[in-house]
Chain A
Amino acid sequence: MDAFLAAGAAFMDPYLLGLVLIGTVGGVLVGAMPGLSSTMATALLLPFTLTMDPIPAIALLSALYCAGTYGGSITAILVNAPGAPPAAATAFDGYPLAQQGRAGLALGMAAVSSVIGGLFSVVVLIVAAPLLARVAYDFGPPEYFALSLFGLSMLATISGESAVKNLIGGAFGVLLATIGMDFTTGVDRFTFGFWELSEGIHFIPVMIGLFAGAEFLTQAGQLDRVQVRAALDAVRLPGMEHFRKCAGTIARSCGIGTFIGLLPAEGGTVAAMIGYNEAKRWARDKSQFGKGDIRGIAGPETANNAATGAAMVPTLALGIPGSATTAIILGALLVHGLRPGPHLFTETPTLLYAIFLAMLLANLVFGMFGLIGAKLFARVTLIPVRFLWPSVFVLACIGAYALEQSVLDVWIMVFAGLLGFVLKRYGFAAAPIIMGLILGELVENSLKQSLIIFDHEWLRFLERPIVVTFLALTLFSALWPLVSVWRARRAAAAAAE
Chain B
Amino acid sequence: MGMSPGEGGAAAPAARFPRDLLVACAILAFCAVAYGITLGFAKAPAAVAQNVQPATFPRLVIAVIAVLSGVLALMSFRADSARKRPVRPMVVATAVMMVAFVIAFDILGFIAAMVLFAAAMPLLWGERRWRLVLPFAVLFPAAIYLVFVVGLGVHFDPGLLGIN
Chain A interfacial positions (CB closer than 8 Å to B): 34-35, 48, 51, 80-82, 85, 88, 162, 164-165, 167-168, 171-172, 174-175, 178, 182, 184-190, 213, 216-217, 220-228, 384-387, 390-391, 393-395, 397-398, 401-402, 405, 407, 410-411, 414, 417-418, 421, 425-427, 444, 447-448, 451-452, 456, 482, 485, 489
Q: Cα distance A80–B91 when bound, in Å?
A: 24
Q: Cα distance A124–B48 when bound, in Å?
A: 45
Q: Cα distance A186–B53 when bound, in Å?
A: 11
Q: Could you tell me if B2 and A222 are in contact, using CB atoms closer than 8 angstroms? A: yes
Q: Could you tell me if B102 and A225 are in contact, using CB atoms closer than 8 angstroms? A: no
User: For residue A225, which residues in chain B have a CB less than 8 angstroms away from its CB?
Assistant: 2-4, 6
Q: Could you tell me if A222 and B6 are in contact, using CB atoms closer than 8 angstroms? A: yes
Q: Could you tell me if B72 and A165 are in contact, using CB atoms closer than 8 angstroms? A: yes
Q: Cα distance A48–B144 when bound, in Å?
A: 13
Q: Could you tell me if B1 and A216 are in contact, using CB atoms closer than 8 angstroms? A: no
Which residue on B lies nearest to A424, using beta carbons? B8
Contact with A452, one of B50, B54, B154 (Cβ below 8 angstroms): B50
Q: Could you tell me if A223 and B65 are in contact, using CB atoms closer than 8 angstroms? A: no
Is B98 at the interface (CB under 8 A from chain A)?
Answer: yes
Contact indicator per residue, chain B 118-137, by CB within 8 Å of chain A (1) or not (0):
10011001110000100010
Q: Cα distance A390–B52 when bound, in Å?
A: 46
Q: Cα distance A489–B48 when bound, in Å?
A: 52
Contact with A407, one of B6, B106, B144 (Cβ below 8 angstroms): B106
Q: Cα distance A175–B52 when bound, in Å?
A: 16
Q: Cα distance A397–B29 when bound, in Å?
A: 31
User: For residue A34, which residues in chain B have a CB less than 8 angstroms away from its CB?
Assistant: 1
Query: Would you list 30 pairs from A and B whose C-beta atoms are within 8 A, ordered by A residue?
Result: A164-B75, A168-B72, A171-B65, A187-B41, A189-B54, A217-B91, A217-B98, A220-B93, A220-B125, A221-B7, A221-B90, A222-B2, A224-B6, A226-B4, A385-B125, A386-B121, A390-B118, A393-B98, A393-B101, A394-B144, A397-B102, A398-B144, A402-B154, A405-B155, A407-B106, A410-B102, A417-B98, A426-B23, A448-B50, A448-B57
Within 8 A of A (CB), among B69-97: 69, 71-72, 75, 78, 84, 87-88, 90-91, 93-95
Within 8 A of A (CB), among B136-155: 136, 140, 144, 148, 152-155
Q: Could you tell me if B4 and A216 are in contact, using CB atoms closer than 8 angstroms? A: no
Q: Cα distance A88–B2 when bound, in Å?
A: 11
Q: A171-B65, A390-B117, A485-B75 are in contact. List 10 more A-B contacts (CB 8 A).
A: A81-B1, A162-B20, A189-B55, A221-B91, A386-B121, A387-B140, A397-B101, A401-B154, A448-B52, A489-B78
Which residue on A lies nearest to B94, using beta carbons? A220
Q: Could you tell me if A168 and B65 are in contact, using CB atoms closer than 8 angstroms? A: yes
Q: Could you tell me if A162 and B91 are in contact, using CB atoms closer than 8 angstroms? A: no
Contact indicator per residue, chain B 28-57, by CB within 8 Å of chain A (1) or not (0):
000000100110011110001111111101
Chain B nearest CB from A284 CB (Å) reads: 32
Q: Cα distance A228–B75 when bound, in Å?
A: 38
